[in-house]
Each structure stands twice: as C-alpha cells, then as structure tokens.
Chains A and B, each alone.
Chain A
Amino acid sequence: DAGITQSPRHKVTETGTPVTLRCHQTENHRYMYWYRQDPGHGLRLIHYSYGVKDTDKGEVSDGYSVSRSKTEDFLLTLESATSSQTSVYFCAIGPDRANTEAFFGQGTRLTVV
C-alpha cells in the first residue's frame, strides 16, 4: 500500500468551529489532492498541491483552505464548519504528468452537528 495516512479517521464537530484534517505521505510525491465524497456525487476535488507552498483550488473549494509546508504533509482546514461539509474526505497522491494512478488514503469521516 502507498504510504498515505489521514488523521483523524473520524471526527464530530459543531457548526462554526474550525477543523483541520491532516494527510501524511511517505512516498515523496509532488502532487497531493483533497477530495470529498458524497452520495450521488462521487469524488469531487477540493484543493490540490503541486509542491511545497504551491496549491490551487478545485471545483468545490468554498469554505476550505489548505497548506503544504513540507512535501509529506497536506492540511485541509474548514475555517468555520457547516452541516453541508459533513462528508467523507479523501487525500490522494497523484496523478502527475508521468503517472496516471492516484493513490488514496483511508478517508476521514467528518460530521458537523
């Protein structure tokens, strides 16, 4: 298995609180991605990173921010959690220009109450 670890695996938080999800990889991969998965929508890209301090928005980025201060860590922050952000969040490494495959973490199940 690709070395991707997401933490926490489960979290329940209250509306209006900030939440940070962490993705840690041991593959030294340049490209990292955050997705959310909801019934009927598949995986939708929130933000991605193509290097340390290099990030950009995906299709559903509103209400989320990211940071990447080290190659191995990619953080996703919900600035002020809302119930619509209840979802399962997946981190992935890849694809990149040379390789098509994306390797996913185990996911973080977030519930905003």
Chain B
Amino acid sequence: QKEVEQDPGPLSVPEGAIVSLNCTYSNSAFQYFMWYRQYSRKGPELLMYTYSSGNKEDGRFTAQVDKSSKYISLFIRDSQPSDSATYLCAMRTSGGYNKLIFGAGTRLAVHP
C-alpha cells in the first residue's frame, strides 16, 4: 500500500464548476500538507500549503486537512480552463529528513 493515495483521474468538468480533489494517507506522522499544480511538460509549482489540520483559503482555492481521517482535499471554485493541469498532493513529517511524499497526481480538464 502506498503511503499516499490519489485518484489519477482524469477529471473533466465544465467551466464554472466546483472541483474537489482528494488524497488519503497512512502515515499519522505527516504534519505538512501541500498541493502542487503541474502544467503539461512543466515542473510542479506549489499551490497551497497547510500545517497540521484545518482549512486554508487562497482566492478560488481551499485546502482542507482532516488528520483524524487521514484525508486532505483541494477545492477549486468557479473553475477556469486555465486550471487544467495535474494536481499533486504532497506530505512530509515535521522532523528529521525533509522528504516529500507525493500522490500520483490527478489530471484535471476544465472545458469552456
């Protein structure tokens, strides 16, 4: 079993839809939770970052962490064609070696 599970999709939605992307994990020691966005043939870029549990909002994007369920989510409101990309969740522990563990990535397509 992978430490981080993420449905690879693809997910196709119409412009303006609310998108929900999710990851589950097995390591209860994870404290930092991130979402990276990766456009085709580019490197990933950090989109959202949350420490421990709770919600974080940035414009149209909301990240949620539920440590009791070992479940994280990224919501995109009013999705735009420019949001079409692969979204990768990533996590790491707070101590020791700083390794990031990535999910497989979910490919999202927002069509006009």
Contacts and interface: CB of A to CB of B under 8 A. Distances in A.
Interface string B1-24: 000101010000000000000000
A42 B6 contact: yes
B112 interface: no
Interface string B71-112: 000000000000000001010100001111011110000000
A58 B99 contact: yes
A96 B99 CA distance: 9
Contacts of B99: 45, 48, 58
Interface of A: 4, 31, 39-45, 48, 56, 58, 90, 92, 94-97, 100-102, 104-107
A40 B43 contact: no
Contact of B43 (A42, A94, A106): A106
A48 B34 CA distance: 20
Interface size class of B (residues with CB under 8 A): 20 to 34
> Would you list the 9 A-B pairs with minimal beta carbon distance, nearest first?
A104-B43, A42-B102, A43-B102, A42-B104, A95-B98, A101-B46, A100-B32, A42-B105, A104-B44
Interface of B: 4, 6, 8, 32, 34, 41-46, 49, 51, 88, 90, 92, 97-100, 102-105
A44 B104 CA distance: 9
Contacts of B44: 43, 90, 102, 104
A39 B100 CA distance: 18
